[in-house]
A and B are shown apart, each in its own frame.
Chain A
Amino acid sequence: MKNHKFTLGGALIAASLIYLFITSVEQSAATHMTLSTLMQTATNDFDRQRIQLGGCTVVEGSIQWDQYRHRPEFTITDGDRVMKVRYRGNGVLPDTFKDKAQVVLEGHYNNKKQFFEAQVVFAKCPSKYEGQDYQGHVEAMKVRDAKETAW
């Protein structure tokens, strides 16, 4: 049994895997952007490109639910700029979606009407590892302690 037959077999498998990778990436890829790059580079033919928009938070008080609290319109901000978002997906939004939540959106940008049409909304999970966000807690405790003393 010659060894190069196995090399050939291995190469064939590797080649088909790579082919599989490339074709699959093409079909499900989304370009990751921050709000500022999106707003700077957006053109009118942008609505064909699937975009993942990261690094934004939901503007407090901006969430407008539809009648059954399914597909909201809301505004996101990176601290600097803002953008309107319409949710068009099927799934129920994650429970972590609320005011000031960090969100990652996937969908298309409509440059003419200046809003982002989101098919998927990821909201920051209440990860167990959020120990860094401590200052907020200290503030909350102080407010609460103050209230308790007031009573």
Chain B
Amino acid sequence: MVEIGYFSLCLALVAAGYALVASLVGARRQHLGLVRSGERGMLALTGLLTVAVAALWHALLTHDFEVQYVAENSNRAMPTLYTVAALWGGQNGSLLFWNWLLCIYGAVVILCNRHRYRLLMPYVVVGMAGSGLFFTFLNLFGADPFTRLPFAPADGRGLNPLLQHPVMAIHPPLLYLGMVGMAVPFSFALAALWSRQLDTTWLRAARRWLLIPWTFLGAGLLLGGRWAYEELGWGGYWGWDPVENASLMPWLAATALLHSAMIQERKGMLKVWNLALAVITYGLCIFGTFMTRSGIIDSVHAFAKSNIGPFFSTFLVVLLLFSFGLLWSRRKDLKAENRLESFASRETAFLLNNWILLGMLFAVLWGTVFPLLSETFTGEKITVGPPFFNQVNIPIGLVLLFLTGAGPLFAWRRTSAASLRHNFSVPLLAAAGTGLGVLILGVRDGYALMSLSLCGFVGGSISMEFHRGARARQRNAGESYLQGLYGLLSKNRRRYGGYVVHVAMIVLFVGFTGKAFTVEQEFVLAPGESISVEDYTVRYEALAESEDANKTVVAAALSLFQGDTFLGTLLPAWHHYRSFDQRTTEVSVYSSLREDFYLILVGNSEDDSAKFQVYINPLVNAVWLGGLLFVLGSLWTMWPTERDRRLAALDRRTVQGLPVSESASL
């Protein structure tokens, strides 16, 4: 099976090269047959990679330990779920997986657009096949997952227990789907530049292909946070580690593009900016992969140094030089059709939103590569930690939150002073009310007060939008208020689905704000003793030790009370996995909507007394809730509407950009 996999990989290299050349020549010569052939080459590439992936999965599931990758990343004792997940558990397999997902995106884009965007599509295939060619090359010459060992070990090394968590089986694929998917909007931008189809067509075509990876990436980021929170035992979910930053940066760039695309569609402005953002977003995905796998940045997650760094940096440089060169050569055709007319306009708000998002992106990038920069320029390697990122990003984030609420209150082109007063009154009242409310509840932290007031402001602004829309439908269509609300959501998915995502952002910010109120305490208890932390009381009942084939478990049992009410039993523990000589801390959390009581068993003494550490994390569940709402909101936004289906049907009948005789033969 492994030979079949390797052989498919070799054929895939040929297919990728063919798809690239055929599409390019076909597009230049307007040769329909070649264009179609290039598309089929891309489909063949996808098929061949599917065979390669299937071969590696087969090797994993049949425990073919003669294959180095299988021996390193799995063993017989692992549950099947993790054996399946071992496909992306190691470097070489994950790069094959990445490549496979990339080509699946490519194939789906081709199948969806067989009759649409005919002038763009050949170049889109060039973009996707180009990336596919790079990754296949990498798989063959830098990161071969099919390398054989000179002997077959009896068992493999397996997956580290810390990574044996269900979230770890879905978190990497989600992130990959997000990172890889950014190749599609990039390819559309490349196609627009190359084919000189520089109107908004590429944006229209790429919009959904931007939303899909954007949603995956966002969900992946939050799931990673969830894993860290449950598994790592430091009471937090985000540590500004280079690995985390690597996936946050493209998400921020994509968020900026989602917003600035709207200005181009409406006003014909920011054309260069949008094309550049599409390139930067994909570039950041490649850069992130390069950064975390080349060993140039010391990270907590310290990906092992490997030889694939030069491959990635070369690819990145070629990608950026070529794209920006093309952009430069087309600059005369990219003049804005309109100018900003007034500060008090929605355009300005969007523009500001873009600057702020890019400012945040730059801050994250700056902090991440600061050690490298300072070493290059001063000879001294200076590192910055989470305090830097928090200090910079909290104010930027608050401005962004304000803009989320303020944007919709401005009219396009210009807003009169009277309508500004009218529009801002309700949200400002909501902000003042929220601020006053939390002040009375005892919130004194400056940033927290600002953040929560701004959440009120955005909430007020969005509610007003929904209210006005629903009232308008009530008047015009004679619907009830609730029908009106539903009508808004279903008829104008893009706008109102977008607002749902904004609501998710409010909920997320509420969750982030909770960090300001975290209480941390450590204490030692003997069995039977209790201690009060805030308004909780914990009583340490007993310590128990057990063993099974894999591990030793030491668990403490504690009863948790709030006042006199018994809330539950907490069982913080630590496990010791013998084969890895690896200890894992298992936290125990009592969760309520208001806050988490997060308990860690630090260690125990021979007399059964034990040391505990507790984090009380207010509002942390808003983060997970906001994440869920984020996914639902974006799904709602991207779901095809009746209008999309009609347009697609229309496109099928009138194939764009081709002579009638040729389009008839399709």
Contact = CB atoms under 8 A, between A and B. Distances in A.
Interface of A: 1, 3, 5-6, 9-10, 13-14, 17, 20-21, 23-25, 27-33, 52, 54, 65, 67-70, 90-92, 94-96, 98, 102, 104, 106, 120, 122, 124-134, 137-138, 140-141, 144-145, 148
Contacts of B392: 20-21, 24
B415 to A, nearest CB: 13
Contacts of B366: 21
Nearest to B235: A91
B154 interface: yes
B391 to A, nearest CB: 4
A25 B89 contact: no
B154 A141 contact: yes
Nearest to A71: B602
Contact of A132 (B88, B306, B602): B306
Given A70-B611, A92-B600, A29 B154 contact: no
Contacts of A10: 355
Given A27-B387, A68-B604, A141-B154, A95 B293 contact: no
Interface string B154-170: 11010010110000000
B585 A95 contact: yes
Q: How large is the interface on B (under 10, 10 to 19, 20 to 34, 35 or more residues)?
A: 35 or more
Contacts of B581: 98
Nearest to B92: A131
Given A28-B388, A102-B302, A132-B304, A137 B72 contact: yes
B382 A27 contact: no
A69 to B, nearest CB: 3
Contact of B583 (A98, A106, A137, A141): A98
Contacts of A134: 68, 72
Contact of B395 (A20, A27, A69, A122): A20
A5 B155 contact: no
Contacts of B298: 32, 54, 104
Contacts of B386: 28
A131 B520 contact: no
Contacts of A90: 520, 522, 613
A145 B603 contact: no
B200 interface: no
Most chain B CB neighbours (cut-off 10 Å) among A17, A23, A129, A140: A129
B94 interface: yes
Contact of B359 (A13, A54, A137): A13
Interface in B61-96: 68-69, 71-73, 88-92, 94
23 contacts: A3-B339, A17-B359, A17-B363, A24-B384, A24-B391, A25-B388, A30-B383, A31-B383, A32-B375, A67-B605, A68-B524, A92-B602, A94-B300, A95-B583, A95-B584, A98-B582, A127-B301, A127-B303, A138-B153, A140-B157, A141-B153, A144-B155, A145-B153
A10 B356 CA distance: 10
Nearest to A120: B385
A60 B378 CA distance: 36
Contacts of B524: 68
Interface in B556-596: 581-585
Given A137-B157, A145-B154, A52 B383 contact: yes
Nearest to A10: B355
Contacts of A131: 68-69, 72-73, 90-92, 304, 306
Rank and list the top 7 A-B pairs by shortest CB-CB distance, nearest first.
A69-B603, A126-B160, A68-B611, A32-B381, A28-B387, A68-B603, A24-B391
Q: Is the interface of B mostly helix, strand, loop or mixed?
A: mixed
A17 B375 CA distance: 22
Contacts of B605: 67-68
A133 B90 CA distance: 12
A90 B236 CA distance: 14
Given A98-B583, A126-B162, A31 B388 contact: no
Given A122-B300, A132-B306, A69 B602 contact: yes
Contacts of B498: none
Interface string B295-327: 000101111111000000000000000000000
A28 B391 contact: yes
B305 to A, nearest CB: 7
B610 interface: yes
A74 B303 CA distance: 24
Contacts of A144: 154-155
B492 interface: no
B136 to A, nearest CB: 19
Interface string B131-172: 000000000000000000000011101001011000000001
B362 A65 contact: no
A132 B143 CA distance: 11
Given A128-B89, A141-B154, A148-B154, A92 B391 contact: no
A128 B94 contact: yes
A5 B343 contact: yes
Given A6-B340, A29-B383, A98-B581, 13 more contacts: A1-B339, A1-B343, A20-B363, A23-B391, A68-B604, A69-B604, A90-B613, A92-B613, A95-B232, A128-B89, A129-B304, A131-B91, A141-B71
A91 B234 contact: yes
A17 B393 CA distance: 10
A53 B305 CA distance: 18
A146 to B, nearest CB: 11
B419 interface: no
B612 to A, nearest CB: 9
Most chain A CB neighbours (cut-off 10 Å) among B88, B342, B383: B383
B199 interface: no
A11 to B, nearest CB: 11
A13 B356 CA distance: 8
Nearest to B355: A13
Contacts of B363: 17, 20-21
B233 interface: yes
Nearest to B88: A128
B3 interface: no
B371 interface: yes
B616 to A, nearest CB: 15
Contact of A65 (B381, B385, B603): B603
Contacts of A17: 359, 362-363, 396
Contacts of A27: 387-388, 391
Most chain B CB neighbours (cut-off 10 Å) among A23, A29, A70, A98: A29
A126 B383 CA distance: 22
Contacts of B232: 94-95
A141 B388 CA distance: 45
A148 B395 CA distance: 61
Contacts of A129: 90-91, 94, 293, 303-304, 306
A139 to B, nearest CB: 11
